[in-house]
Structure 1
Amino acid sequence: MPLFKWFEQRVHPYPDAPPAQPPKGFFSFIWAGTVGMRPLIFVVMLLTASIGAFEALLFSMLGSVVDWLSATPRDQLWATQQGNLILLAAILLGSPLLIALQALFKYQSLAGNFPMRLRWNFHRHLLGQSMNFYQDEFAGRVAAKVMQTALAVRETVMIVTDILVFVVIYFITMLAVVGTFDWLLILPFLGWLALYLLAVWYFVPRLGRAGAAQADARSLMTGRVTDAYANIATVKLFSHAQREAGFVKGAMQEFMQTAYRQMRLVSGFEIVNHTLSMLLLAASAGVTLWLWTRGEVGVGAVAAATAMALRLNGISHWIMWEMSNLFEQIGTVQDGITTLSRPIEIVDRPDAQPLRVTRGEIRFDHVDFSYGNGQRVMEDLTLTIRPGEKVGLVGRSGAGKSTLVNLLLRFYDVESGRVLIDGQDIAHVTQDSLRAQVGMVTQDTSLLHRSVRDNLLYGRPDADDDAMIAAARRAEAHDFILTLTDPKGRTGYEAHVGERGVKLSGGQRQRVAIARVMLKDAPILLLDEATSALDSEVEAAIQGSLYRLMEGKTVVAIAHRLSTIAAMDRLIVLDRGRIVEEGNHASLLAHNGLYARLWAHQSGGFLGEEAEDEAAG
């Protein structure tokens, strides 16, 4: 409907502006979360206040109606009270408009758009986080916090506007109404308010702490469940379904303990709340009846005061549940803040410029680096890779080969020294432009749970079908892609590959990854065990394609199987983050050093553990 659509378009859920760093403080985090929606929240507050005042005034009207009925003969009611009755009818008939406006702003404008806008901003912020961030977190736990925290911020704002605005305005108006009958009628309500606030002061902070513990336990439980599903092949391979179930059960039991603590508090609050409500009803009814017997108030005051007490009974239950919900949401927000407000470690400088690659020279200039555990991985490393040079990195596990590649991609910042491409310090260029100039095939190829086409076009989104298919052919992937199907009947390039490409064999995933990099055609090429998942026949078939891919590019290749990089222009032998040897295959063998020992211990051209142990010694 056009009316609903107009209200739904009052908030843009996907703003183009880059998301700001979420604040670490609770109130500042909530306030930042309302950007773009504050005028609408204020309108909802005004409408809620109006509804609260209107509802309290209804009891005054009720009292007036009872007085009219008791004081006016039946046949004269319309004649004597015509104006008041018409006014009352108009007010009652006009109230749905007030409710409708509040509902449209609250539910159509805010209820869906508010959390979606937050999720959009949280997600974009987290996409900018460093690799180190994701190595320390469950992917499922991060995703759960994005979803839960967005809803919790919305609920916190909505509950506060409902409770503080509606209840405060309602109670003030109600006291004013009963005060017009007799000031003594205010005393039972003030006494109830004092005791109720005392109960809130006792129970609510405890409910808040229980809610925070429950939110943390829920995130842990969700993370463990997701971790089991994400690694289902490993779970089944080692026949550990029961062990995983037990691992998750531990998190579930921890969650249930927090739930039990929370429900004990809720039960106690419910009992106290009902007791106070009954005391209020008895006190207000007793005072009004006593005043009525003295002739100081009319029957309408008795009816109105008693009705208000009954209404407060319902409202107090609503407040209790809303306050319980509020502090559970507060706990969820506080739990989410620890993840969502973590500063991004690797950021572009304000004056960062796009990287311009004209030749493809790579230079590591006196680089020092460690992963933060105190153990130095790179120490005063200096290395120049000439434009168009093909360099192989050799060394045992932990020698620093992958670290060198990670620093070149700026997944981490160096502690000292510089990494330069064509003379440009990569710390001074934009990350997107840097990685746009680098193509990489890794050992552990991960594909997106999308179509083969989507995965290939990740290399170059604007490529046409001819270019995409040509890259697939060069990578020896086209033929097997045409045989693919998925459960929804999609075939060939439209078939979906499953989470992380699980529906494909390791060799098939690798060929798709190689085709993707071929399509990207970046001037710098990184190969990290690029053919490790391929059988010998397929590797031989695409080796020529890889060599063609390397033509005119600066190449850095890592391989444990030394035969795959023996033909490189230069081999760099690393040990404990330092360059210990360099040269071509023949000169390094003649040198009879670490590389020669590694080559001698090859088994089928693969660098085994035995060789690594000797190198370590």
Structure 2
Amino acid sequence: MFAFFEQLVRPTDVPVKPPPAGLLAFYWHFVSQTKGLYAALFATGLAVALIDTLVPVFIGHFVQIMEASARSEALNDAIPMLIGMSLLVLIGRPLAVLIDSFIRHNAVVPGVTSLIRWQSHWHVIRQSWTLFQNDFAGRIANRVMHTSDAVRECVVSSIHAVWYIAVYGASALFLMGSADWRLAIPTALWFISYIFFLHYFVPRMRDLSRHSSERSSILMGRVVDSYTNILTVKLFSRATDEDAYVREAIEDHTGAIAAHMRLITKFTTTLAVLNALLLVCTSAIGLLLWSQGVLEAGIVAMAVPLAWTIANTAGWVSWEMNRAFENIGVVQDGMETIAVVNTMPDRPAARNLDVSTVHGEIRFERLTFTYGRSDGRKVLDSLNCTIRPGERVGLVGSSGAGKSTLINLLLRFYEIEAGSIRIDGLDIRELTQDSLRRAIGVVAQDTSLLHRSIAENIAYGSTGATPAQIEAAARRAQAHEFIVSQRDWNGRIGYDAHVGERGVKLSAGQRQRIAIARVVLKNAPILLLDEATSALDSEVELAIQDQLLGLMEGKTVIAIAHRLSTIACLDRLLVLNDGRIVEQGTHEELLQLNGQYAMLWRHQSGGFL
């Protein structure tokens, strides 16, 4: 039975469409995928609420039976009712509660929570690089994790709250009004007051909850930021400053929680007063009417427990409504990351680039890019260049000349503002981004590894790579020797050893050799080297140079290096300045020009005296 309910939801199916931006539409996007479960919750909630409402009625009948002068006869007449009541309490209610619990705790909680969390992650990880550049990784993760719980709890709480307040309220008014309209007055006034009570408190709870959730996300982001950059914190002895950075977020969060709790205290006190007035007034009117002979004791015995049940239920319903609106605040905070329109989606008719057919010609045509700056300063200014298939090209220039921007545009990390980039004559904007990047191997200056095994990090470049292929790639990158000596904190050794977050267990040079091995295994037709050997010592660099030359064989290569000696052997060098190509040629040709490249070469070969 448990397995049946646990398997009703398949949480990790690939999503069909992204979550919409509107709040109600965002909720419905996820609710509609499992609406059968929520409909079942409605049904079981109704059954439990109806049964609970009948209990005070049964109490009233008990009193009437016990008041009868002919007790045996009254008891005999009441046997069918007593049997029905017993079956309802002993079998009906436990069965309804069991089914409700199966649906809520064994289907909705694990399945729906994981479904929302999985789909949120699925969409977020496909957002543009810019989204991750502009936010804390910790805050993004916090929103993905907490939004799923908030959506589920908000919907479930609303379902239970609506049924209980509707069933109890309607039943109480009907039963009391049927006995005497005056008996229903306290309940009617209480409901009017209760509506105003919810109208006042619930939206304020929602706003304070959202504010508290925002502060919590910021706090999480700051803490994770400090931990992620712990080496920098240690190197600059800035633990005290990090204390202040995190303390500010904690104090903001504490203030938000305190404001929230102040409102909760007012909330509970006001509700307690309303419930006390309901119980006292119902009892007083019931006793008054009984003393006047208008009502029988059984009716009063029904009305007072019913009022008490309403009072208790109202507190529970209020908290359910409160939780629902608090969760709305959490959802609204999470939507700022999850329900964000992808700024760089593939075009509707985008085609897949077949890596096996790529020759590797790259053409930059009147390429202009400003990063959207208001001052209009051009990082790339009408740049034109054609790189032939199999040609090895080096990019040279001072910082800010546009080298890395050119690489990022080729990888489609940013949308081209003017001009175009073509691979084998195909505009890269007409290609799917995944297929474009599968055709390009990259070794970046800032190498970041996944917190997984060394083998998994190398195999990231080629799905399904065998251990033998992984080792061969590592040997070509001069990484095998240090890999086999690795041992992590769980005793895993060699290629199975884990590298820590962002590869923190390895040196910069070791991380870079893993990155080179990854690209060796990927074997893409286009190769981008962004300071690929910057973290290597001279001995290892010399050993790898021959391997890199072999890796470049037959590939179109674009290499960036501030150390000019590492790219002097390439087929052609492009010198960039202010977003334009100001010089180009071989190393010898550029030296003969005695221009900017020659000046840079003299500085590096002769020293900065």
TM tier relative to shorter chain: over 0.9
Consecutive unaligned residues in structure 2, runs of 5 or more? none
2:554 paired residue number:
552
Q: Distance in 2 between matches of 1:331 and 1:138?
A: 20
- Residue type at the aligned position of 1:54: I
Asked whether the 8 Å contact 1:188–1:284 carries over to 2, the reply is yes
Counterpart selection for 1:115 from 104, 113, 116? 113
- Residue type at the aligned position of 1:320: S
2:488 paired residue number:
486
2:446 paired residue number:
444
Counterpart selection for 1:81 from 75, 78, 83? 78
2:37 paired residue number:
40
Asked whether the 8 Å contact 2:155–2:324 carries over to 1, the reply is no
Cα offset, 1:295, TM superposition: 1.8
Q: Distance in 2 between matches of 1:35 and 1:544?
A: 58
2:227 paired residue number:
229
Q: Distance in 2 between matches of 1:603 and 1:397?
A: 19
Cα offset, 1:604, TM superposition: 7.5
Q: Distance in 1 between matches of 2:288 and 2:2?
A: 52
- Residue type at the aligned position of 1:66: V
Q: Distance in 1 between matches of 2:225 and 2:392?
A: 39
1:474 paired residue number:
476
**Matched position secondary structure for 2:604:** coil
Q: Distance in 2 between matches of 1:72 and 1:405?
A: 97
Q: Does 1:215 align with 2:217?
A: no
Judged with a 3 Å threshold, the aligned counterparts in structure 2 of structure 1 residues 313 and 604 are, in CA distance, closer, same or farther, namely farther
Higher deviation after alignment, 88-97 or 377-386: 88-97
Q: How does 1:317-332 map to 2 (within 5 A)?
A: 317-332=315-330
Q: Distance in 2 between matches of 1:534 and 1:341?
A: 42
Q: Distance in 2 between matches of 1:255 and 1:328?
A: 15
TM-score normalised by structure 1 residue count: 0.96
- Residue type at the aligned position of 1:368: T
1:364 paired residue number:
364
Q: Distance in 1 between matches of 2:268 and 2:209?
A: 17
Identical residues among aligned pairs (%): 46
Asked whether the 8 Å contact 1:266–1:324 carries over to 2, the reply is no
1:453 paired residue number:
455
Judged with a 3 Å threshold, the aligned counterparts in structure 2 of structure 1 residues 296 and 496 are, in CA distance, closer, same or farther, namely same
* CA-atom RMSD in angstroms: 1.4
Q: Does 1:422 align with 2:424?
A: yes
**Matched position secondary structure for 1:440:** strand
Cα offset, 1:422, TM superposition: 0.7
Q: Does 1:70 align with 2:72?
A: no
Cα offset, 1:312, TM superposition: 2.1
1:613 paired residue number:
none
Asked whether the 8 Å contact 2:124–2:337 carries over to 1, the reply is no
Q: Distance in 2 between matches of 1:53 and 1:176?
A: 13
Cα offset, 1:544, TM superposition: 0.6
2:11 paired residue number:
13
Q: How does 1:361-400 map to 2 (within 5 A)?
A: 361-374=361-374, 375-400=377-402
Q: Does 1:538 align with 2:535?
A: no
1:526 paired residue number:
528
Q: Per-residue CA shift, 1:193-241, capped at 9, x if unaligned?
A: 1122222222222222111111111111111011111111111111111
Q: Per-residue CA shift, 1:337-382, capped at 9, x if unaligned?
A: 1221111111111211111343210001111112122332111111
Higher deviation after alignment, 59-68 or 542-551: 59-68
Asked whether the 8 Å contact 1:360–1:421 carries over to 2, the reply is yes
Number of residues paired by the alignment?
A: 604
Q: Distance in 2 between matches of 1:507 and 1:36?
A: 48
1:152 paired residue number:
150
1:54 paired residue number:
51
**Matched position secondary structure for 2:33:** coil
2:189 paired residue number:
191
Cα offset, 1:88, TM superposition: 1.2
Q: Per-residue CA shift, 1:263-286, capped at 9, x if unaligned?
A: 111111111111111111111001
Counterpart selection for 2:435 from 415, 430, 433? 433
- Residue type at the aligned position of 1:245: D
Cα offset, 1:78, TM superposition: 4.0
Q: Distance in 1 between matches of 2:32 and 2:380?
A: 44
Q: Distance in 1 between matches of 2:580 and 2:279?
A: 82
Counterpart selection for 1:339 from 337, 340, 344? 337
Cα offset, 1:392, TM superposition: 0.1
Q: Distance in 2 between matches of 1:258 and 1:308?
A: 38
**Matched position secondary structure for 2:313:** helix
1:571 paired residue number:
573
Q: Distance in 2 between matches of 1:50 and 1:183?
A: 27
Q: Distance in 1 between matches of 2:238 and 2:343?
A: 37
Asked whether the 8 Å contact 2:367–2:418 carries over to 1, the reply is yes
Cα offset, 1:96, TM superposition: 0.9
Q: Does 1:315 align with 2:313?
A: yes
1:297 paired residue number:
295
Asked whether the 8 Å contact 2:395–2:574 carries over to 1, the reply is yes
Q: Distance in 2 between matches of 1:439 and 1:53?
A: 65
**Matched position secondary structure for 1:489:** coil
Q: Per-residue CA shift, 1:527-577, capped at 9, x if unaligned?
A: 000000000011011111111000010000000000000111000001111
**Matched position secondary structure for 2:135:** coil
Q: Distance in 1 between matches of 2:423 and 2:246?
A: 47
**Matched position secondary structure for 1:560:** coil
Counterpart selection for 1:99 from 94, 97, 100? 97
Cα offset, 1:174, TM superposition: 2.1
**Matched position secondary structure for 1:499:** coil
**Matched position secondary structure for 1:14:** coil
**Matched position secondary structure for 2:575:** strand
2:603 paired residue number:
601
Counterpart selection for 2:21 from 7, 24, 27? 24
Asked whether the 8 Å contact 2:164–2:317 carries over to 1, the reply is no
2:255 paired residue number:
257
TM-score normalised by structure 2 residue count: 0.97
**Matched position secondary structure for 1:534:** coil
- Residue type at the aligned position of 2:221: G
Q: Distance in 2 between matches of 1:8 and 1:376?
A: 56
Cα offset, 1:185, TM superposition: 1.4
**Matched position secondary structure for 1:501:** coil
Asked whether the 8 Å contact 1:57–1:177 carries over to 2, the reply is no
Cα offset, 1:170, TM superposition: 2.1
Cα offset, 1:16, TM superposition: 2.4
- Residue type at the aligned position of 1:8: E
1:614 paired residue number:
none
**Matched position secondary structure for 1:37:** helix
Judged with a 3 Å threshold, the aligned counterparts in structure 2 of structure 1 residues 335 and 17 are, in CA distance, closer, same or farther, namely closer
Cα offset, 1:586, TM superposition: 0.8
Higher deviation after alignment, 158-167 or 529-538: 158-167
**Matched position secondary structure for 1:158:** helix
- Residue type at the aligned position of 1:481: I
Q: Distance in 1 between matches of 2:264 and 2:509?
A: 57
Cα offset, 1:300, TM superposition: 1.5
Asked whether the 8 Å contact 2:486–2:494 carries over to 1, the reply is yes
- Residue type at the aligned position of 1:174: A
Q: Distance in 1 between matches of 2:199 and 2:79?
A: 48
Cα offset, 1:74, TM superposition: 4.4
Asked whether the 8 Å contact 1:367–1:378 carries over to 2, the reply is yes
Q: Per-residue CA shift, 1:303-341, capped at 9, x if unaligned?
A: 111112222222222233223322221111111112211
Asked whether the 8 Å contact 1:469–1:478 carries over to 2, the reply is yes
**Matched position secondary structure for 2:76:** helix
Q: Per-residue CA shift, 1:477-514, capped at 9, x if unaligned?
A: 01110000011110000000000000001111111110
Higher deviation after alignment, 157-166 or 516-525: 157-166
Q: Per-residue CA shift, 1:17-53, capped at 9, x if unaligned?
A: 44x2222211111111213211111111122122212
1:615 paired residue number:
none
Q: Distance in 1 between matches of 2:196 and 2:601?
A: 78
Cα offset, 1:72, TM superposition: 5.1
- Residue type at the aligned position of 1:422: D
